[in-house]
Amino acid sequence: MAACCRDILQYETDKTIQIQSTNFGAIKWVFHVIVFSYVSFALVSDKLYQRKESVISSVHTKVKGVAEVKEEIIENGKKKVVPSIFDTADYTFPLQGNSFFVMTNFLKTEDQKQGLCAEYPTRRTLCYSDKSCKKGWMDPQSKGIQTGRCIVYKGNQKTCEVYAWCPTEAPEEAPRPALLNSAKNFTVFIKNNIDFPGHNYTTRNILPDFNKTCIFHKTKDPLCPIFRLGDIFQETGDNFSEVAIQGGIMGIEIYWDCNLDRWFHHCRPQYRFRRLDDKITNETLHPGYNFRYAKYYKENNVEKRTLIKVFGIRFDILVFGTGGKFDIIPLIVYIGSTLSYFGLATVFIDFLINAYSSACCRSFIYPCCKCCEGCRVNEYYNRKKCEVIMEPKRTLKYVSFVDESHIRMVDEQLLGRSLQDVNGRKVPRPLMDFTDLSRLPLSPPVPPPIPGQPEEMQLLKEVVTPTSNSPNWCKCGNCLPSQLPKNRQCIEELCCRKEAGACITTSALFRELVLSRRALQLLLLYQEPLLALDEDSANRRLRHCAYRCYATWRFGSQDLADFAILPSCCRWRIRNEFPKSEGQYSGFKSPCWLDRAEQP
């Protein structure tokens, strides 16, 4: 099989860590049960297994009712009240879209004809002489085109003369109470046909058993499509008589929430009402809803009109809603989107493990209190769970002192300082795998430990007094100056100890693990069983193998051993044992894979 196919035809899976803990197990199941309950609840209550489609609709309305209006007119200088009847044709106006309009109040300016007259006196139109008026001037606020003359309006009030529909309209307040206040008893019949084209379903808001005399009531008759206008305002908490004076806009919402599944079929409208204009606007800031229209007629061959400023209520009918039917695709998408919630338990438990291991144990806030027992357990889980890896930089080095239980990480340029003098960061020594140790060909006579002393120290029996020619950074007396070029010397200026004392090279274990020719040969043969060691290469391979043995012994893990720096004493002790016949030793080099990675 070709290599590329082998790469494709493989399956990767995550390796998981199973923590056998009753507490965490219980937390996990509590989370799963909560998540499962919520997901199932949302699935059923929001019908997320359905494919939903918005409604498209048409609306038709019919307003019915008759009102008697008592209009005040002035006839022969006397005020007179004339009753008149308003029916549908008088108070409704055709509007575009899903809206209808009901007139509730009006102001009439009768007998207007085109000609010249004085404007109605306001602060804007008052004048004292012809200079205040400008011929041909057309103010958007005014009713006509100025002629440039300032004429008497009434008494000593003078205003600019205009060419307009005369007499001009007076800016009057809307009558109170509203002239068509009885419009609250009008009814509107709303016909609404709806369609869900994707589901191939059509219906309307009028049921087959529809009673023509019914009136909508929120609880008693919520499906009746005939509405009394006063009731609509009651529903929104507004007073019809008050809104009728200045007019307003009212929304009638028809909401369709249709379940088109065969077993739970339900598709009936819900009616809601909402005041759509700004009911709290200050009276002076254009309140209500009004517009002007005119009735034209001819009198003695002169065209005349009656101008009517109409106040009323515009009803906007807003139809919206969705129809849903079971579909496998939304169900699969929903299940897929909720799967991630089951990971919440992991996130939460991992947070507990991290927070309660590092926060209290590592910070030594509770050095020996009871809480720390749980923390130590978490610390243990944490160690098993995560592996810390340093960025393998050229500046990264690890050093280990025989008189310290931890190792140190140095991640900086030495810049002429001896490595011995750089403190670095303390990192825990990786745990020893004793199965590896048991494979080593150690000779048995290891002396019994002396009570009261660390065992590692007990092996350092042969305390060597520092020789006079050891460098000043050496604490064990066995180190030698570096042989490297001057700029690289500082990396080899490292002793096996932080404080003065016995050298690690004098320990029995050093001889057994690092210097034993037999052990090193076995290790080399272990890797290459048929290795023939000739005189030339033997020492070099044994020496390098000894470096490795030391690093693995003192740094515990292969990752650290790659960046571990040998103390000078060990380096020279190994070189004495397995010397190089000619030339200089090349010293520590960063791992070769790092070189390759850094090459452009």
Q: How far is the CB of 552 from ligand GDP (least distance, A)?
A: 10
Q: How far is the CB of 461 from ligand GDP (least distance, A)?
A: 25
- Per the structure block, which two tokens stand in for 367? 């050095």
Task: Output phi, psi for 9, to 5 deg.
Answer: -85, 65
Residue with the two structure tokens 């009847």: 85
Establish if 495 lies at the interface with Zn ion (CB under 5 A). yes
Cα–Cα distance, 326 to 50 (Å, whole number): 4
Q: Work out what residue 183 binds among ligand GDP, Zn ion, none; the CB cut-off runs from 5 to 8 Å by kind.
A: none
Establish if 541 lies at the interface with ligand GDP (CB under 6 A). no
Residues found in the chain? 600
Q: Which helix (H) or strand (E) holds 296?
A: strand 290-299
Q: How far is the CB of 591 from ligand GDP (least distance, A)?
A: 8
CB 228 within 8 A of CB 215: yes
Cα–Cα distance, 174 to 247 (Å, whole number): 10
Q: Work out what residue 585 binds among ligand GDP, Zn ion, none; the CB cut-off runs from 5 to 8 Å by kind.
A: ligand GDP
Establish if 543 lies at the interface with ligand GDP (CB under 6 A). yes
199, 205, 211, 212: CA torsion to nearest 10: -140
CB-wise, 53 or 403, nearer to Zn ion?
403
Please give the angle made by the CA atoms of 396, 402 and 403, to the nearest 5 degrees.
110
Contact stretch for ligand GDP (CB under 6 A) within 99-107, 304-312, 418-426, 544-552:
544-552
Please select the residue that binds Zn ion; options are 345, 474, 549, 566, rule is CB under 5 A. Answer: 474
Please select the residue that binds ligand GDP; options are 178, 566, 568, 572, rule is CB under 6 A. Answer: 566
Contact stretch for ligand GDP (CB under 6 A) within 328-336, 352-360, 469-477, 538-546:
538-546
Q: How far is the CB of 480 from ligand GDP (least distance, A)?
A: 13
Q: How far is the CB of 577 from ligand GDP (least distance, A)?
A: 12
Contact stretch for Zn ion (CB under 5 A) within 49-57, 199-207, 548-556, 562-570:
562-570
Please select the residue that binds ligand GDP; options are 540, 557, 577, 594, rule is CB under 6 A. Answer: 540
Amino acid at the residue 426 = K
CB-wise, 345 or 542, nearer to ligand GDP?
542
Q: How far is the CB of 488 from ligand GDP (least distance, A)?
A: 11
Q: How far is the CB of 462 from ligand GDP (least distance, A)?
A: 23
CB 475 within 8 A of CB 495: yes
CB-wise, 103 or 566, nearer to ligand GDP?
566
The site that binds ligand GDP (CB under 6 A) totals a number of residues, namely 14
Q: Is 350 exposed, middle or buried (0-12, 13-18, 19+ CB in 10 A)?
A: middle
588, 592, 594, 598: CA torsion to nearest 10: 110
Establish if 307 lies at the interface with ligand GDP (CB under 6 A). no
Long-range contacts at 347-350 (CB < 8 A, ≥ 24 apart) = 348/27, 348/31, 349/24, 349/27, 349/28, 350/385
Q: Which of 336, 344, 354 is nearest to 31 (CA)?
A: 344
Q: Work out what residue 478 binds among Zn ion, ligand GDP, none; the CB cut-off runs from 5 to 8 Å by kind.
A: Zn ion
Cα–Cα distance, 159 to 148 (Å, whole number): 11
Establish if 476 lies at the interface with Zn ion (CB under 5 A). yes
Establish if 502 lies at the interface with Zn ion (CB under 5 A). no
The site that binds Zn ion (CB under 5 A) totals a number of residues, namely 8
Cα–Cα distances in angstroms (integers) from residue 235 to residues 256, 272, 276, 325, in the given order: 19, 8, 14, 33
- Per the structure block, which two tokens stand in for 191? 């016909």
Cα–Cα distance, 80 to 272 (Å, whole number): 43
Establish if 564 lies at the interface with ligand GDP (CB under 6 A). yes
Site for ligand GDP in 436-495 (CB under 6 A): none
Establish if 229 lies at the interface with ligand GDP (CB under 6 A). no
Cα–Cα distance, 128 to 196 (Å, whole number): 68
Establish if 587 lies at the interface with ligand GDP (CB under 6 A). yes
List of residues 6+ apart from 91 with CB closer than 8 A: 63, 67, 102, 103, 104, 180, 183, 186, 312
List of residues 6+ apart from 526 with CB closer than 8 A: none
Q: Work out what residue 52 binds among Zn ion, ligand GDP, none; the CB cut-off runs from 5 to 8 Å by kind.
A: none
Q: Work out what residue 519 binds among Zn ion, ligand GDP, none; the CB cut-off runs from 5 to 8 Å by kind.
A: none
Please select the residue that binds ligand GDP; options are 191, 383, 406, 580, rule is CB under 6 A. Answer: 580
DSSP codes joined into one string, 415-462: TT--GGG---EEEPPPPP-HHHHHHS---S-PPPPPTTS-HHHHT--S
Cα–Cα distance, 593 to 558 (Å, whole number): 14
Establish if 596 lies at the interface with ligand GDP (CB under 6 A). no
Q: How far is the CB of 547 from ligand GDP (least distance, A)?
A: 5
Percentages (nearest 5) of helix, strand, coil residues in the chain: 30, 25, 40
Q: How far is the CB of 594 from ligand GDP (least distance, A)?
A: 11
Q: Work out what residue 543 binds among Zn ion, ligand GDP, none; the CB cut-off runs from 5 to 8 Å by kind.
A: ligand GDP
Q: Work out what residue 587 binds among ligand GDP, Zn ion, none; the CB cut-off runs from 5 to 8 Å by kind.
A: ligand GDP
Please give the angle made by the CA atoms of 403, 408 and 412, to the nearest 5 degrees.
140
Please select the residue that binds Zn ion; options are 150, 317, 345, 569, rule is CB under 5 A. Answer: 569
- Per the structure block, which two tokens stand in for 514? 């690092």
Establish if 395 lies at the interface with ligand GDP (CB under 6 A). no
Q: Work out what residue 474 binds among Zn ion, ligand GDP, none; the CB cut-off runs from 5 to 8 Å by kind.
A: Zn ion
Q: How far is the CB of 463 from Zn ion (least distance, A)?
A: 11
CB 24 within 8 A of CB 350: no
Contact stretch for ligand GDP (CB under 6 A) within 85-93, 111-119, 204-212, 584-592:
584-592
CB-wise, 299 or 582, nearer to ligand GDP?
582
CB-wise, 35 or 503, nearer to Zn ion?
503
Greatest extent of the chain over all pairs of C-alpha atoms, in Å: 144
CB-wise, 511 or 544, nearer to ligand GDP?
544
Q: How far is the CB of 544 from ligand GDP (least distance, A)?
A: 5
Please select the residue that binds ligand GDP; options are 100, 565, 568, 569, rule is CB under 6 A. Answer: 565
DSSP state of 169: P
Residues that bind ligand GDP (CB under 6 A): 540, 543-544, 547, 551, 564-566, 580, 585-589
Residues that bind Zn ion (CB under 5 A): 474, 476, 478-479, 495-496, 503, 569
